[in-house]
Structure 1
Amino acid sequence: MTTPPRLSRLTFHGPLSEARAAAMVRRLAATRPGSVLDIGCGWGELMLRLLAAVPQARGVGVDVNAVDLERGRCAAGARGLADRVEFAEESAVGTGRGPADVVLCLGASQALGDDLVTALRELRRLVADGGRVLLGEGFWQRTPTEAELAGMWPGASVTDHHDLAALVDLTVAAGFRPEWIETANPDEWEEFESAYQADRELWLAANPGHPLAPETRESLDTHRASWLTYRGTLGLTYLTLAPTSH
């Protein structure tokens, strides 16, 4: 039975442009890391680009999605990086994989704990002194209304995210100084959300009578409605964080 294709249109699993990714890699590569740890790595695209830019570095990506990890392994092999990177199928909770010179956590703080304060504490534990954390984290661009929350994800609450100022303050309280603060722009969001759905949308258009069509249609329509509700309300910031000395 043919099944809907998955995420082939996505380069990064998040709203991240090529230009922004290249600038991030240059900034992180300038610190000359020897080790990179990617939490909730998916297929680890940004990690692989950083390893390519820093020939002496080795990387570990941790995730629980076997399909994404295999995609990462294939990409590493195709780029001649297989001997410098490990994709580990395991939970990041309490991981002993650190400390690393660069820790990536892009839209995956939930992999480290049930709340952001716990995740930030873990990120500080996992990064070496003098290293960097690149954190991609959601924030409210404005306070959502109750009607908007009802149209987002199940159980959405105003407490699910902070505003950007409060979020940055939490990173400082956790033992970091923000080297760089940037936010995904509308074009990055629209490219990501469209690419996230596009494979399955086209499959559904070509296979409306397939046994998997009803559940695929429901998933697509639910996600699209959610995105078009939080569009312009939910933001995503990329924070390059330098740990303060213990």
Structure 2
Amino acid sequence: MTPPHRTRLTFHGPLSETRADALVRRLTRHRPTTVLDIGCGSGELMLRVLATAPEATGTGVDLDSDDLARGRRAAEERGLAPRVRFLEESATGTTRGPADLVLCVGSSQALGDRLPEVLGELRRLVTDRGRVLLGEGFWERTPTPDELSRMWPDAAATDHPDLATLIGLAVDAGFRPEWTETASLDEWEEFESGYLADTEVWLAEHPRHPLADETRQRLDRHRARWLAYRGILGLAYLTLVPTA
């Protein structure tokens, strides 16, 4: 028996049902016929877009075979399988575009190490009349050295920009921001709690399992990092329109 993991998550990020519904309505307003999801995971948001835009086809790219398999099952269950592909491959230099709608939510690292490079790739991958949804981290405020020391390994203040800088980089890359919104603290707490919840319950019920010590260390490490960046690290959802 191995610990369950992420079974309580709908989205792999701080995204509520209410915000997801609003995003889908906005992103399908211009009637996309092709959708490209970078670092798609199980592709939940892409599948919702396809359900709302019946003329659209979708392509999801990711390296996690388990998430891709989950996405394929969901597509089959919802009758969307003929219109979507889940591909296990790198998005670096991908030739899967251009698409009318490009989703890149919490996965910009799949396109490059620096935001100007990422945004340049997104501009290349979207059609001239299309849209990009970029879900990207930013600092709500500059973290202190002590706070950084308790986040991820080698965390630095330069890891993320502030929100104004992030939007400015998008404009410099050839976009105009149609819509700017940021994840709420409630969304973050629902995501981070949901990320750990099933494994926490398993650990409470199996404290002497051979995997218990390793699992306990992993959970405690993740929770400590989350609590260190809680209220400091934000996530922006930017709906971007390419400039002519």
> What TM-score results when the alignment is normalised by the length of structure 2?
0.99
Q: Which runs of 5+ in 2 are unaligned?
A: none
Distance between the aligned counterparts of 1:50 and 1:242, measured in 2? Answer: 17
4+ runs of 1 displaced by more than 6 Å? Answer: none
Match of 1:46 in 2: 45
Distance between the aligned counterparts of 1:216 and 1:111, measured in 2? Answer: 27
Distance between the aligned counterparts of 1:206 and 1:175, measured in 2? Answer: 53
**Partner secondary structure for residue 88 of structure 1:** strand
Distance between the aligned counterparts of 1:197 and 1:178, measured in 2? Answer: 34
Distance between the aligned counterparts of 1:113 and 1:199, measured in 2? Answer: 32
Match of 1:96 in 2: 95
Deviation at 1:212, TM superposition (A): 1.0
Distance between the aligned counterparts of 1:106 and 1:231, measured in 2? Answer: 19
Deviation at 1:117, TM superposition (A): 1.2
Deviation at 1:214, TM superposition (A): 1.2
Deviation at 1:116, TM superposition (A): 1.2
Distance between the aligned counterparts of 1:32 and 1:224, measured in 2? Answer: 41
Q: How many residues were matched structurally?
A: 244
Q: Percent identity?
A: 69
The correspondence of residues 27-176 of structure 1 with structure 2, limited to 5 A, is 27-176=26-175
Deviation at 1:210, TM superposition (A): 1.0
**Partner secondary structure for residue 72 of structure 1:** helix
1:17 partner amino acid? S
Distance between the aligned counterparts of 1:39 and 1:159, measured in 2? Answer: 24
Q: Which runs of 5+ in 1 are unaligned?
A: none
Distance between the aligned counterparts of 1:138 and 1:199, measured in 2? Answer: 25
**Partner secondary structure for residue 74 of structure 1:** helix
2:186 partner amino acid? D
Match of 1:202 in 2: 201
**Partner secondary structure for residue 98 of structure 1:** coil
**CA deviations over 1:122-175 (Å, ceiling 9, x no partner):** 000000001000000000000000000000000100000000000000000000
> What TM-score results when the alignment is normalised by the length of structure 1?
0.99
RMSD: 0.5
**Partner secondary structure for residue 178 of structure 1:** strand
1:5 partner amino acid? P
**CA deviations over 1:48-88 (Å, ceiling 9, x no partner):** 00000000000000000000000000000000000000000
